[in-house]
Amino acid sequence: MMYSVFGDGKYTVYGRAQDELAGTPYTAPDRVAPSIAAILPPSRSVDDGLVGNYLGDPLGGLPPDRAYEDSDYNARLKLDYVAPPSVGVTAGGPFGSGVYGGIAFYFSDMLGNQNLTVVAQAQGTFKDIGGQVAYLNRENRLNWGGMAGHIPVLYSSSFIGTGRDPDTGQPVDIIEQLRQRIYIDQVRGVAAYPFSTTRRLELTGGFTRYGFDYEVDTYYFTPLGVRRERTDLSQDEPDAVYFGTTGLALVTDYSFFGFTSPIRGGRSRIEVSPYIGSEQFIRLQADYRKYFFLEPFTVAFRGLHVGNYGAKTGENQLFTREYLGLANSLGFVRGYSLTSFDDLGECTNDGQGRCAEYQRLLGTRIGVASLEFRVPLLGTDSFGLLNFPYLPTELTFFADGGVAWTAEEAPELKFVTERTGERVPVFSTGVSTRFNMFGYLVLEIFYAHPFQRPGKGSHFGFQLIPGW
């Protein structure tokens, strides 16, 4: 026999073998006067008061008993809410002058079975206007939906030097501002079949096109003022890249989320996605996360592998790369952000004229492991060391490790802290603080010591993403 007992804020299941249940059934004597169940005083019921009035008139306030006109349910979508719009203006800087902003609209039917999301964004010019539409139908057990979008991604860099004024031929100071855009046009469908409330099977399929746009603005600082000339670099743009893909994933999620990160349970995702088109490869993702709740603390562990098997390698194979040094990404190892490499003196030659400290952070395959001890510093009475619900804050002590490699360049699996040109794993440890910014986003500020960057040392960093 199995039975459950609720105590100490949780359920516990107990089991008893059949021989432990043996005994003599109790039979009540025939001549036993019926007993009156014990009740709290007063022994006589009270008929007046609010409860007594409700008991005396149970139908009061209810609609009259008659036939009502009925109609079929209308599943028409209606606007639920509008995300707070954001608007900004820039003048100068690496991306130039422009107007930036975004807005999102969320629609659903009355039962929430159908959901429609419309997002629009602007990043300075007409070339940088993008948007996305996503639909999900959850009316039946088999959930299905799709999305379509056009998303421009802008990269910019500036170079300061000297050149000649094309009008006068005189040497002048110049600034060249290079802008590179990647246009991501995507159509995708998804279907999900839940086996239970914690496990489901996902099937995806779609088509993606990556287009490119390069241009440079040159500023000439002449005695008469500053003049700008824009040059189209279409001859330097790569050819568009096309991908068709399908994916099959088994997803498990029985985690419980706190203010900034999960605190109990576990999550996993195993996915296989073949890609065909400009490149042919198979992407494998295995992601496992476990959270041990030691009230009020949490010990969290994560193991991750992402591999693009069959993918080509090279400087131009941008769409088959995986990174350990991209903040806000799945495989980020804190302390190794690619944007923090601001000193060429930190680099060690890897034997091919490349920066070994940089190259070991990218490849076609990566493996990552992380361990965290999470402390709910600020929160509520029920969850938090200090009662301050206005800015929920989590203090975290962490250790990260990761390795990136390709089919041609296998890693050297050893722990070294001195300079080396080898492709070795990278490790870091430190402390971070996550803030729940009024329910809109989670900001993490960390102080990390990267063991495989002796030329950098411990430093601060941040990312805008909830804890894994």
Q: Which residues, other chains included, contact 219 with Cβ-Cβ below 8 Å and sequence gap of 6+?
A: 174, 175, 176, 177, 226, 227, 228
Segment 219-259, tens digit of pLDDT? 888 888 888 888 888 888 888 999 999 999 999 999 999 99
The one-character DSSP state at 355 is B
Can you give the residue range of the structural domain that contains 373? 254-468
Determine the Cα–Cα distance for residues 322 and 192; give it in Å rounded to an integer.
26
In a domain, 295, yes or no: yes
- At residue 34 the predicted structure's pLDDT band, cuts being 50, 70 and 90, is low
Say how many C-beta atoms besides its own lie within 10 A of residue 175's C-beta.
Answer: 16
The residue type found at 459 is: H
In a domain, 446, yes or no: yes
Tally the domains of the chain. 1
- At residue 45 the predicted structure's pLDDT band, cuts being 50, 70 and 90, is low
In a domain, 330, yes or no: yes
The one-character DSSP state at 360 is T
Say how many C-beta atoms besides its own lie within 10 A of residue 220's C-beta.
Answer: 21
pLDDT at 194: 95
Dihedral sign from CA coordinates of 334, 335, 337, 339: positive
Produce one character per residue of 34-63: b if its CB has 16 or more CB atoms within 10 Å, e if not: eeeeeeeeeeeeeeeeeeeeeeeeeeeeee
pLDDT above 90: percentage of residues in the chain: 50
Helix, strand and coil content of the chain, in percent to the nearest 5, comes to 5, 55, 40
In a domain, 238, yes or no: no
In a domain, 124, yes or no: no
Residue with tokens 């609209």: 105
In a domain, 386, yes or no: yes
3-state SS track over 226-243: EEEEEEECHHHCCCCEEE
Q: What is the CATH number of the domain that holds 409?
A: 2.40.160.50
Segment 152-185, tens digit of pLDDT? 988 877 788 888 888 788 888 888 888 888 999 9
Phi then psi dihedrals of residue 344, to 5 deg: -65, -20
pTM of the entire predicted model: 0.75
pLDDT at 456: 87
In a domain, 193, yes or no: no
In a domain, 130, yes or no: no
Q: Which two three-digit tokens encode residue 185?
A: 């046009």
